[in-house]
Structure 1
Amino acid sequence: MKALITLTTSESKRLIAKGVKGMSCVQNALQRHTVIVAGGTTNAFVAEELLGITIEDKTGYTMGIVTQGELGVSRSTKKKSPYVIVAGNVVETPWKDYLPQLKTGDVFIKGGNALDHTGLTAVTVSDSVGGTIGAAQGVLYARGVKLIVPIGLEKMIPDVRQAVEFMTKSPLDESMGHKVGLIPMLGAIPVTELTALETLYDVEARCIAAGGVDGSEGAVIIAIEGLDEEIQRALRDIQALKGEPPVSVQ
């Protein structure tokens, strides 16, 4: 059986978050190790799914944000620090202070701003020392900690490596909003809508189109194929998350 589903960007974020939760490495880390859910609007959805909580203002769970047609920073009055989850329980230790304790089996979840067809991801940074990924990446590489990047297909660009090389060969002179750099996240595991669908259901998933208007800007159209019962199960679950409110600045 084959079916088409259409997801708005917020519906994609919810599906991706459920897919992250369904990954075996994340389940293992939740039970026996540590999960750090770094900042980001998609990661706010991930935190909700992992912890069974509600984050009303998801723009408060991020620092950088693209809104009103420019690069900026969140001005939310409801700021939330990234969650550090140890053996299923939230601890109060700030994530940067916890970094030296990370080890194999732990998981670090970081949002991204760019994804290409090879699976390479990158994140924009305006902080002078590279932001979250600048602080964490060395530790993750050195200790064999899995870096998971929940990222919607709306963020797909032609070539991440070319984009990084173009950005680093000369400094920025002007910008609509904050000036940012672009840091690649080599070795990261991207989790898109397709990954989520294939994690949660025994289906094959392919993105066949994208875009829309009147609130469906950035929407993706995905074809899924599998046994009738799996397709029907997927469709029921997708229908249940339809209508996910858009992330808006409060």
Structure 2
Amino acid sequence: MKALITLTASESKRLIARGVRGLSCVQNALNKHAVIIAGGTTNAFVAEELLGVTIEDKTGYTMGIVSKGELGISRSTKRTAPYVIVEGKVIETPWKEYLPKLKSGDIFIKGGNAIDYTGLTAVMVSDASGGTIGAAQGILYARGVKLIVPIGLEKMVPDVRQAVEFMTKSTVDDSIGQKVGLIPMLGAIPVTELTALETLYDVEARCIAAGGVDGSEGAVIIAIEGLDEEVQRALRDLQTVKGEPPVSAS
């Protein structure tokens, strides 16, 4: 059986978050190791799915934000600090303080701004020291900590490597909104809508189109194929993500 699904950007975020929760490495880390859920609006959805919490203002779970047609900084007055989870329990230690304790088996979850057809991801940064990924990446590489990047297909770009090389040739002189750089996240495990669907259900998933109007800007159209009962199960579950309200910046 083959079926078509259309997901808005916020519906995609909810599905992706459920896909992250369904990864065996994440389940193992939640039970036996540590998980850091770094900032990002998609990561706010991830935190909700992993912890059963509600984050009303998801723009308060990020610093950098693209809104109102500009690169900017979140102006949310309802800030939520990134969660650090150790053996299934949230601890109060700030993520930067816990970072040096990470070891193999632990998970670091970081949102991204770009993904290409190879699965290479990148994140925009405005901080001179590289922001979150600048602080974390060395430790993650050195200690074999898995870096998981929940990222929607709306962020698909032609070639991340070329984009990074172009951005690093010279500094940005001017910008409509915040000036940023672009850092690649080599070795990361991207979790897109397709990853989520194929993790949660025994189906093959392909993105066949994207875009729309009247609130469906950034939407993706996905085809899934599998046994009738599995496709029907996916469609039933996906009804629960339909109508997910858009993330709005105050």
Give the TM-score category using the shorter length.
over 0.9
The equivalent of 1:31 in structure 2 is 31
The equivalent of 2:249 in structure 1 is 249
Give the whole-Å Cα distance in 1 for the aligned partners of 2:65 and 2:103. 30
Amino acid paired to 1:47 = A
Give the whole-Å Cα distance in 1 for the aligned partners of 2:170 and 2:60. 32
Give the whole-Å Cα distance in 1 for the aligned partners of 2:236 and 2:193. 16
**Is 1:143 paired with 2:143?**
yes
CA deviations 1:25-57 (Å, max 9, x no partner) are: 000000000000000000000000000010000
Amino acid paired to 2:91 = V
1:1-250 correspondence runs (5 A): 1-250=1-250
Displacement of 1:235: 0.1
Displacement of 1:241: 1.2
CA deviations 1:12-35 (Å, max 9, x no partner) are: 000000000000000000000000
Displacement of 1:249: 1.2
Give the whole-Å Cα distance in 2 for the aligned partners of 1:219 and 1:124. 21
Amino acid paired to 1:125 = V
CA deviations 1:218-250 (Å, max 9, x no partner) are: 000000000000000000000111000000013
Displacement of 1:154: 0.1
Percent identity over paired residues: 84
Structure 2 unaligned blocks of 5 or more = none
**What TM-score, normalized by structure 1, do the two folds share?**
1.00
Give the whole-Å Cα distance in 2 for the aligned partners of 1:137 and 1:156. 22
Aligned alpha-carbon RMSD (Å): 0.4
Amino acid paired to 2:239 = Q
CA deviations 1:160-203 (Å, max 9, x no partner) are: 00000000001111101000000000000000000000000000
CA deviations 1:83-136 (Å, max 9, x no partner) are: 000000000000000011000000000000000000000000000100000000
Give the whole-Å Cα distance in 2 for the aligned partners of 1:87 and 1:176. 43
The aligned length equals: 250
Amino acid paired to 2:114 = A
Amino acid paired to 2:222 = I
